[in-house]
Amino acid sequence: FFQLLPMLTLQQNVMLPMDLVGYLPLEERPARALALLERVGLADEADQLPSGVSGGQQQCAAVARALATDPPLLVADEPTGNLDSASADRVLTLFADLHRRGKTILMVTHDPTMAQRADRRLTMDDGRIVADDLL
């Protein structure tokens, strides 16, 4: 469950955090939401309710929503877990771009392919850090 409100469109779901914290002038929020949906491949689905799109598309909309207020830190738990390979690559490319722009991204994954894309990896076993690799 990606915490999308079922009565709001994907675009409205992405705008919601902006509305809650007063991020950007009101008239700029729809364009920012649409741009974020474009980044995750969902611009054409912006007017759909969450029930009208696949689970993977809902997950991508949740990623767009997480970025709505331009947070300095993004915490992502298995952000590509339900995505097809093209959508997963789009999200990871977006994360890499955000990181190049100075964002800190903490990503939890069991997927070694995803972990390979990080510049620092902490490996945990039974709740303890067993490796700290700065690449």
- pLDDT tens digits for 41-69? 999 999 999 999 999 999 999 999 999 99
20-25 contact pairs (CB < 8 A, 24+): 21/69, 23/68, 23/69, 23/70
Q: Distance between CA 49 and CA 84 in Å, rounded? A: 20
- Which residues, 6 or more positions from 133, have their beta carbon under 8 angstroms from its beta carbon? 120, 121, 122, 123
Structure-model confidence comparison of residues 12 and 116, the more confident one = 12
Is the pTM higher than 0.85? The answer reads: yes
Instruction: Specify the pLDDT at position 67.
Output: 96
| pLDDT tens string 8-46 | 999 999 999 999 999 999 999 999 999 999 999 999 999
Do 92 and 67 touch, CB atoms closer than 8 A? no
CA–centroid distance for 126 within its chain: 27
DSSP string for residues in 18-84: HHHHT-S-GGGHHHHHHHHHHHTT-GGGTTS-GGGS-HHHHHHHHHHHHTTT--SEEEEESTTTT--
